[in-house]
Amino acid sequence: MSVSEELQQTIAEMVDGRRGILAADESNGTIAKRFDSIGVESTEENRRFYRAALLSTEGLGEYVSGVILFEETLGQADGAGTPLPQLAAAHKIVPGIKVDKGKGPLPGASGDMITYGLDGLAERLEGYKAQGARFAKWREVYPISSHNPTRLGLTANAEMLARYAAVCQSVGVVPIVEPEVLIDGDHSIERSAEVNEQVWHEVFHALHRHGVVLEQMLLKPSMVTPGKDCDKAPPEQVAEYTLRSLRRAVPAAVPSINFLSGGQGPEEATANLNALNQLWQAPWQLSFSYGRALQEPALKAWQGKAENGPALQQALNKRARLNHLAMLGEYQESLERE
């Protein structure tokens, strides 16, 4: 199979109009904070048990087509010795891998950030492929302030995303391109729309320069919302502003837009995705790639106790099903009470 055929097969399995992506790629520092919230120590065994429970959820593959894994998880196995990427694949969920190495300040651009991890990426990807990963994810973050993102911040982050995506496609790994415009601050939804539009324009200019095949990548953007220090916008307004900016900046060749939840609560993220799919017949699939917005109820149900595994899986399946319905524009708030 050629590299292009590999990429197209992965896209075909992940983009079907009814399923989204589970983001389970929290770094050890981030998952420690999640576990702290339920009073559970973040040991390797606890992380392995929790993520194995997520991936062995019966029926999850009806609503989730891919899972983003952390490097540690890619090498772990369930209690029966099945490697976790194989466990996901057995449920018709394509395994993927987070490949960036975290972020830091961008020199010369006060307040902007840049993500690390390009060195040796092609070699790392070959190793991840051997462990079962078929797609990858790289995140760049963009704070909003009176002067951020700067012109340097926009161009430098877009260049990193494009270089990463080009390397992925060269070895037959589908890239998820994640330009996250942060929700922190008191900016208006109008300011959020302005920045997201600038970011997406810059990212797609860079992808074009680097020869990235748009039909064989996925975009994981923020929804356009006000800053978290402002009142929340209703779902219909979030959908209106998000779609207007997407239409202006994202080529129709991209097969799927899998939104990140970016600090939204589970119900809020689902309601906003539903409004997006009700408002406009988009040229792209409008889907989800949620982490906390899918996992939060599952974590609360688990509480670090093995006997709560079935409750964890029931909570995850419910959230995944509700987001599947949101992709169809058929989600109703009354379903939360079921």
What residue type is assigned to position 329 of the chain? G
The number of domains in the chain is: 1
What residue type is assigned to position 37 of the chain? S
Q: What's the pTM value of the predicted model, to 2 decimals?
A: 0.97
Domain of 190, CATH number, reads: 3.20.20.70
Q: Is the bond into 149 cis (omega within 30 degrees of 0)?
A: yes
Listed residue (28, 53, 43, 220) closest to 140, CA to CA: 220
Model pLDDT, residue 334 = 79
Backbone φ, ψ for residue 173 (5° rounding): -110, 125
Tokens 């917005």 appear where?
A: 293
Cβ-based neighbours of 207, under 8 Å, separated by 6 or more: 161, 162, 165, 177, 214, 217
CA distances from 251 to 177, 200, 208, 239, 271 (A): 14, 10, 11, 18, 25
**What is the distance between the alpha carbons of residues 323 and 328, in angstroms, rounded to a whole number?**
9
* Of 159, 178, 202, 296, catalytic: 178
Instruction: Give the E-state strand segments of the chain in sequence order.
Output: 20-24, 64-69, 94-98, 103-105, 113-115, 135-142, 174-181, 218-219, 256-259, 285-290
**Tokens of residue 338, six digits:** 């079921």
Model pLDDT, residue 61 = 98
Listed residue (177, 181, 150) closest to 161, CA to CA: 177
What is the DSSP secondary structure assignment for residue 77, as one 8-state letter? B
Look up 178 and say whether it is catalytic.
Answer: yes
**Tokens of residue 29, six digits:** 């520092």
**Tokens of residue 288, six digits:** 């989800």
**Tokens of residue 65, six digits:** 């087509």
pLDDT in tens, the chain (338 residues): 899 999 999 999 999 999 999 999 999 999 999 999 999 999 999 999 999 999 999 999 999 999 999 999 999 999 999 999 999 999 999 999 999 999 999 999 999 999 999 999 999 999 999 999 999 999 999 999 999 999 999 999 999 999 999 999 999 999 999 999 999 999 999 999 999 999 999 999 999 999 999 999 999 999 999 999 999 999 999 999 999 999 999 999 999 999 999 989 999 999 999 999 999 778 999 999 999 999 999 999 999 999 999 999 999 999 999 999 999 999 988 788 77
Listed residue (111, 113, 172, 166) closest to 139, CA to CA: 113
Model pLDDT, residue 1 = 86
Listed residue (272, 273, 318) closest to 294, CA to CA: 318
**What is the distance between the alpha carbons of residues 31 and 228, in angstroms, rounded to a whole number?**
22
* Of 71, 197, 202, 220, catalytic: 220
Model pLDDT, residue 280 = 74
What residue type is assigned to position 276 of the chain? L
Which domain covers residue 298, as residue numbers?
A: 3-337
Model pLDDT, residue 169 = 98
DSSP string over 7-29: HHHHHHHH-SSS-EEEEE---HH
Cβ count within 10 A of residue 258:
25
H or E stretch at 89: helix 84-90
